[in-house]
Structure 1
Amino acid sequence: MSLSPGTYKIHDTDSDRVLAHYGEGKITTWPNCEDEYAKWYIKRYSGSSMYVIRSIQENKYFPSSMSKTNMVWVEENDAAVFNLDHQFRDFYLVKLIGTKVHLEHPNTAPSDSRVYTPVNLAAKDAFKGCFWRFEKISDDAGSALAPRAGASTSAPPEPQPSLLPSQGSGRLYPDDAHLYTDMLFNIPRMPFNRDQRIAVLDWARRLGATKVPTIESLDKCERQLEAALGGSNTNREE
């Protein structure tokens, strides 16, 4: 499902903070609000699956690279071109076209001295911290984009995205059930403990859900995922 152009708020799915601009054009996450600095035009090149993201307050765009440790907005000519890969409901991955570089939200709370947290562009094979929820406000996408080389009006149909890599590329999840169960248990700031996980799985079976993983199969899946990620995910609880 491709995203229709318009005005959006873009939520960090982990905390429900929203993308906003701060100071001299820094792109950050901010507590959920209705202010203009937390709203964005999602603009698509005609006839393609290529998107750019523009502030509704300023004629400034998401960049394609970091400025040291910050994302700082740029002019239209230098704007990043993204694929917005639909996952489920209104959740998307924001990926620089032709790369593995994704827009990533932080997994740490802001310090006491600041309200905002910076976001990042990072090359990733696993998508922890990369899911964004797009909340549409209106169909207004601002002014038309200038023609751009490579943004063809005769682009091929957009392939359906998948979070399940083929076996040849190193599959991280055995099936969709393990993927979405892992997301349920580990995306929150306070991951489910083992007793809570067992209770939720049992509750799902009692309600008649099919393809509910066993706790043992989920443990195995998580061990394999930890190995693939080099043990970098410190939020998981054994």
Structure 2
Amino acid sequence: MSLLPGMYTIHDTDTGRNLDMDGSPVGRVGTWVQNHTDGQKWYVKGYTRGSEYAIQNVATKQYIPTCMNGFDMPSVDESDAAAFHLECLEHGFEDIYLIKSMRTGFYLCHPNLKLRQNEGYTPVSFTERPTFKGCIWRFERIGDYAGAPLIPKTDQLALAPPILSTNDPSPRSSGRLYPDDAHLYTDMLFNMPRLPFTRDQRIAALDWARKLGATNVPTIESFDECERRLEAALGNN
């Protein structure tokens, strides 16, 4: 499901912290605890062609870039703004997205790094391989205004999302990360918390789900195999 342009707060799903842009001269992009300021509000702006978006901070009017500058991610003006494709995970999770740079193919992530000393700030970065631990963002719509659509730069017009072959054996060939919803929901249960479940905890959770009468509960063996195939598919991308 495509995201409608508008004003959003963007949440790190692992810690509940919010994507923010600070007031420093470079306008660093990172996550902070929720404070309801304009620095944690974002215009998700569409382009006049395609399904790409730019993400602009409400407070600074600066944009998220395509790359890092050392340890930090500095903000940029519109001419250097990244064009992103927002990949919705599955139906039923319409507000949960992966944020993919169309220029580099890398994903915006919130790595589990220590906070910057005395700043309460965790820098965001980009990663080549999306994971459920670190790359999932929740978009909370708080307003309809996002300004006028942006005109793509010349080099962006030539870029397009990669088209996977229909005979690709990867579970992502149909646009889905998992073969069925049962495996998706199980993975979110196991791996979305800050501390992933141990194998014994996973087995206990699956057994308890069956005792409660849940249907289509994966076996631990089938889930292990699903994880192996997913890791192999991501490793080949």
Q: TM-score range by the shorter chain?
A: 0.7 to 0.9
CA distance in 1, matches of 2:131, 2:224: 18
2:55 corresponds to: 53
Match for 1:106 among 111, 114, 120? Answer: 111
Secondary structure (helix, strand or coil) at the match of 1:42 reads strand
Distance in 1, matches of 2:111 and 2:123, equals 7
Kindly tell me: are residues 15 and 166 of structure 1, through their superposed partners in 2, closer, same or farther at Cα, counting changes over 3 Å? farther
Q: Is residue 6–residue 43 contact of structure 2 (8 Å, CA) maintained in 1?
A: yes
Q: Hey, what does 2:2 align to over in structure 1?
A: 2
1:116-147 superposed Cα distances (whole Å, 9 cap, x missing partner): 10000121154531110000001011355356
Q: Number of residues paired by the alignment?
A: 224
Residue of structure 1 aligned with 2:84, choices 82, 85, 99: 82
Greater shift, 35-44 or 108-117, is seen at 108-117
The partner residue of 1:179 within 177, 180, 184 is 184
1 CA distance for matches of 2:14 and 2:40? 17
RMSD over equivalenced CA pairs, Å: 3.3
> In the alignment, what sits opposite 1:13?
13
The offset of 1:192, in angstroms, is: 2.2
How far apart are residue 223 of structure 1 and its match? 5.4
1:207: how far off?
4.3
Aligned-pair CA distance for 1:160: 11
Question: Secondary structure, in 3 states, of the residue corresponding to 2:44?
Answer: strand
CA–CA separation in structure 1 for the residues paired with 2:80 and 2:122: 24
* Range that drifts further, 65-74 or 92-101: 92-101
Give the percent of matched residue pairs that are identical in Structure 1 and Structure 2.
50
- Cα separation, partners in 2 of 1:159 and 1:208, compared to 1, 3 Å: farther
2: CA distance between counterparts of 1:211 and 1:150?
Answer: 47
Give the direction of change, closer, same or farther, for the CA distance of 1:159–1:147 in structure 2 (3 Å limit): closer
Map Cα deviations across residues 48-107 of structure 1 (whole Å, 9 max, x no partner): 201000010122111111111211110101100000111132100100115430001112
Q: Give the letter aligned to residue 4 of structure 1.
A: L
Q: Give the aligned partner of residue 37 of structure 1.
A: 39
What residue in structure 2 maps to residue 215 of structure 1?
Answer: 220
Q: Does 1:145 align with 2:150?
A: yes
Shift, 1:35, TM fit: 1.1
Q: Identify which of 189, 197, 218 aligns with 2:194.
A: 189
Write out per-residue CA displacement over residues 6-56 of structure 1, whole angstroms, 9 at most, x where no aligned residue.
110001111111100123300000112211111100000135201000010
Distance 1:180 1:166, change over 3 A: farther
| 1:97 maps onto 2:102 in alignment | yes
TM-score computed with the length of structure 2 as normaliser = 0.79
What are structure 2's unaligned runs of at least 5 residues?
none
Could you say if the C-alpha distance between residues 107 and 138 of structure 1 is closer, same or farther in structure 2, counting changes exceeding 3 Å?
Answer: same
